[in-house]
Amino acid sequence: MLKSEIQNLPSSAELPCSDDTPVDNEEQNFIPNFLLFLLEYLWGNRQDWFFGVDMAVYHTTGDNPRIPIIPDGFLALNVERRKGEGGRSSYVLWEENNIVPILALEVVSQTPGGEYSSKEALYAKLGVLYYVIYNPRQFRGDRHRGLEVYKLVKGKYRWQVQEPVWMPEIGLGIGRGLRNYGGVEREVLYWFDEEGNRYISTEEAEQQARSQLSEMRQELDIVRQQVEQERQQREFAQQQVEQERQQREFAQQQVEQERQLREQLQRELERYRQQLGDLGEP
């Protein structure tokens, strides 16, 4: 795009941030926000990404740059994580070095939204590499799966069959999983590693940390009990050694008393003999 053309385009401050269309099911709001929260945990130290939720994406591939496409969620890489003091109100390609989101997410609603037709064509034209359609309630009947991930190959989207789908350009996989929170179990989308292992959420990490801490405390209590038992055993052994020492001393004292008594008896006997000998002389 020429510099003169960019100068004629509206700024993000002049453009609406969304179309204010209300969602008609809970998943449309929860799923993309949940993925965002997971990324905040996984990529907390990175500053080169942005995940938008229900945010207008303005582009120049259509007839009017003031008409955006509004994914339920999208991920852009190699952009500022937070733009300006107040952050982004919309994602305007000509203010983002024309960096197209690498992933777009649509959560199918009861009201037809063109997820499998017009939006798919527009995302392909825009150059979005991965297009994710999540349809947990099967609003379109049996024609589509609950989760479909498409990759743009030579201008056309190709369905990625295996789940979770590994996306090497992003360094993440995406797939479904069950989340239990407050005793309520529900299906959600998760990020995965290359081996297909699900990344845990912050509350799961905290729960694991609490469990590990509890296990460490239990192990520490066991060690303390063992140390105390060993101390008591040492004290008992020392007491036995002391008792044996005292017994040996007592035995030695008895032996000494007996020796002294024998010596005394011998002296008395010798004295009596001398007295008897004196009496027997004429």
The closest of 58, 88, 86, 84 to 71, measured between CA atoms, is 58
Torsion, Cα of 34, 39, 42, 47 (10° steps): -160
Q: What is the CATH number of the domain that holds 22?
A: 3.90.1570
Instruction: Specify whether 183 is located in the same domain as 207.
Output: no
pLDDT surpassing 80 at residue 186: yes
pLDDT of residue 31: 93
pLDDT of residue 193: 97
- Last residue in a domain, options 149, 178, 199: 199
**Average pLDDT score over residue span 256-264:** 88
Q: For the ranges 1-15, 122-136, 191-205, 225-239, which has the lowest average pLDDT?
A: 1-15
Residue 173 and residue 192: Cα distance in Å, rounded? 4
Instruction: Specify whether 150 is located in the same domain as 279.
Output: no
- Last residue in a domain, options 199, 233, 254: 199
The closest of 122, 101, 96 to 11, measured between CA atoms, is 96
DSSP element (H, E) containing 173: strand 172-181
What residues pair up with 265 in beta bridges, in sequence order? none
Instruction: Specify whether 100 is located in the same domain as 135.
Output: yes
pLDDT of residue 2: 47
Domain carrying residue 143: 3-199
Instruction: Specify whether 136 is located in the same domain as 255.
Output: no
- Angle, vertex CA 167, rays to CA 60 and CA 209, nearest 5: 120
Structure-token match 């929860």, residue found:
30
**Average pLDDT score over residue span 214-235:** 84
Instruction: Specify whether 204 is located in the same domain as 158.
Output: no
Instruction: Specify whether 163 is located in the same domain as 254.
Output: no
DSSP element (H, E) containing 23: none
